[in-house]
Chain A
Amino acid sequence: MSTPTGSAWLAGSGSRLAKYNFFKRVNWGRVSVFSVPTLWLAVFFFIPFLVVFKISLSETAIAIPPYTALLDWNAEDALISLKLNLGNYLFLFEDTFYLDAYLSSVKIAAVSTFFTLLIAFPIAYQMARSQPATRALLLSLVILPFWTSFLLRVYAWMGFLKKNGLVNEFLMGAGIIDQPLIMLQTDFAVYIGIVYTYLPFMVLPLYSALEKMDMTLLEAAEDLGARPVTSFFLITVPLAVPGIIAGCVLVFIPAVGEFVIPALLGGSDTLMIGRVLWDEFFLNRDWPMASAVAIVMLIVLVLPIMLIRNNQGKEESV
């Protein structure tokens, strides 16, 4: 392009110049890379979310599908009427049953996340400290359970925990107890199931955080007068925080909405929002109510976590 010689030239071709630059500036390679996950999220997350949201604003009907339409076309008066039913949401707050279910789910998920962290940390720590060759082996052992069906593994736990199951047989054989413990169909069994199932999701991010840690930092801490326990809490744990947060998020979110584990291992009094959802959908056939429960769960879960991530990102950029 020749150099512009006067302002008139610039003014005359200003718009063309702008267009030209725009197309040159767009990095199509980058756009195509970003568009794939964006499209994926749009098609498989955002649109379904909108559908569920739409259903939650309708009313139940004995029809197929079992809810009323939001938009109503009245041909006589040429009137389109939009009918939004907020009753489902109001009912969520009126009936304490749902609030209890949410709180109970959050409690169960939080307690299980805590124990998962407690068990995963030593595992990840040991993995990160072992020889590179051993590390690869340990890593594959952590992932190994994924090769069997999740359902099978939960059923296996039923075998362990039931009245005449392995655990009770062993304890009674060893003479520690003389009455079998009731473990299956209790909250205890649900905790075990969740901790067991989600352990790898905690171990892997913790491992990757601990593995990056420079071991001389611990020597430096000891050299400055910190006992190993002190340097663990002042150096190792703070440096593992990104891994701890990632692991907790990965365990907590699916655990709150967990359905299979409480259904199989939990008792009738184990109240979790996943089961409530299931019951609303398949027993009551109240799709709008179930959708409202799902939407609120999403807001209750995703919002705080988004805030945490956002905060973390800000801190890192400082």
Chain B
Amino acid sequence: MSATSMIETLSDSDTVPAASLSEQSVWKQEGATPFLRIENVSKKFGEFTAVDNVSLNIYKNELFCLLGGSGSGKSTLLRMLAGFEAPTSGRIIIDGVDMAGIQPWKRPVNMMFQSYALFPHLSVEENVAFGLKREGLGRAEVKQRVNQMLDMVQLGHLGKRKPHQLSGGQRQRVALARSLVKRPKLLLLDEPLGALDKKLREETQFELINIQEELGVTFVVVTHDQEEAMTLATRIGVMNHGVIVQTAEPHDVYEYPNSRFVAEFVGSVNLFEGRVIEEQSDFVRIRSAEADAVLYVNHGISCAPNQKVHMAVRPEKMRISREQPKQQENCVCGVVEEYAYMGGLTVYRVRLASGKEVRVTQPNMSRSSSERFTWKDKVYLYWDFDSSVVLTA
């Protein structure tokens, strides 16, 4: 496998999933039958509630990401889908069949483990063949399907090796091949790229999407890495303390977070606390002491007058300037406290008069450094009315 050929295939397919997804969007269609239904599922370990009354519909051919920090319950939810844990209450229905009491070895589900869990005493071929042999398939068919699968993950030439003779990336492919070779209806992936280095991760992400598209298997991916979730997923379910906080497409999770937790967990964000001073169906005006400004957001929210809310704006949506802009609202003033030149962009940390610290990123459009700001510069930060979101939760 050559690196160049892989990058080529990646760049070709790069746009494919996004395009085909916007056509599908099954989850937006009324009355579509979900492939996987999770109904009011809870899991308690003694006093500790790992998963708290989660309901979720996942549709065929989706690549659904459960995103959350450690202890958010995402892995427990995944293990319940695989059958390693039984829900304390609630139902899991896969393809119309209630999974209650069905053992892991009888489920139409396969899992790719975070540690890959390759059998160390078996060769790559034997690892991949393990599941097929349990189905009682003939030797010729097993061999043919194993070879086909190993070719797909570009490991056809390494079939005789043992797992410890492979690199991390190769092991990951073996694990993927092993979990896909049985043609499961549902593939569960536990931090599939967690053990790979950054470069390999990026390559593998797109490969995963390709494979998913090619085979038409429904994927449920668990990850703590928001970047991984963003690139892989058709939809993301953000989990916190055993609860799914928001379920939405990656774009919506990033641009329209529904709570402070989601806004802060996915990407970085600046939050301004304030009180609603004017509230209409199509805009909100907020008085923020923290920002020492009036904030204007061009979408309505349901809230009480004078309610305490937070306004969220992403660092890259802010503009930074030495001159005071014309706009009165959505404009704050501060002093550059620190900056980091990162090549493609520069990150500034600006301290406002109220003591609030704001993060701004600016793309470095020109090579000269005259456009950039330095310590102690007094700057104005401003942003468009449609760039920010009001969060009541």
A interface with B by C-beta (< 8 Å): 214, 216-217, 219-227, 230, 234-235, 238-239, 241
Contacts and interface: CB of A to CB of B under 8 A. Distances in A.
A239 B119 CA distance: 9
Q: Looking at A222, A224, A226, A227, which has the most chain B CB atoms within 10 Å of its CB? A: A224
B105 interface: yes
Given A214-B115, A224-B134, A239 B110 contact: no
A23 B384 CA distance: 78
Nearest to A228: B105
A223 B106 CA distance: 8
B134 A225 contact: yes
A227 B178 CA distance: 17
A235 B120 CA distance: 9
Interface of B: 82-84, 103-106, 109-111, 113, 115, 117-121, 130-131, 134-135, 178-179, 182
Contacts of A214: 115, 117
Nearest to A235: B119
Given A238-B121, A239-B121, A221 B113 contact: no
A214 B116 CA distance: 11
Given A214-B115, A216-B115, A230-B134, A223 B121 contact: no
Nearest to B111: A223
B117 A222 contact: no
A217 B117 contact: yes
Given A214-B115, A219-B84, A220-B113, A227 B121 contact: no
A241 B122 CA distance: 13
Nearest to A241: B121
A221 B115 contact: no
A218 to B, nearest CB: 9
B134 A223 contact: no
Contacts of B105: 222-227
Nearest to A318: B162
A135 B104 CA distance: 28
Given A219-B104, A219-B113, A225 B119 contact: no
Counting from the closest, the 7 A-B pairs by CB-CB distance are A224-B131, A225-B134, A220-B117, A222-B104, A216-B117, A238-B121, A223-B111
A242 B318 CA distance: 63
Contact of A223 (B82, B115, B120, B135): B82
Contacts of B84: 219, 222
Contacts of A216: 113, 115, 117
Nearest to A213: B120
B85 to A, nearest CB: 11
Contact of B110 (A223, A226, A241): A223
A234 B126 CA distance: 11
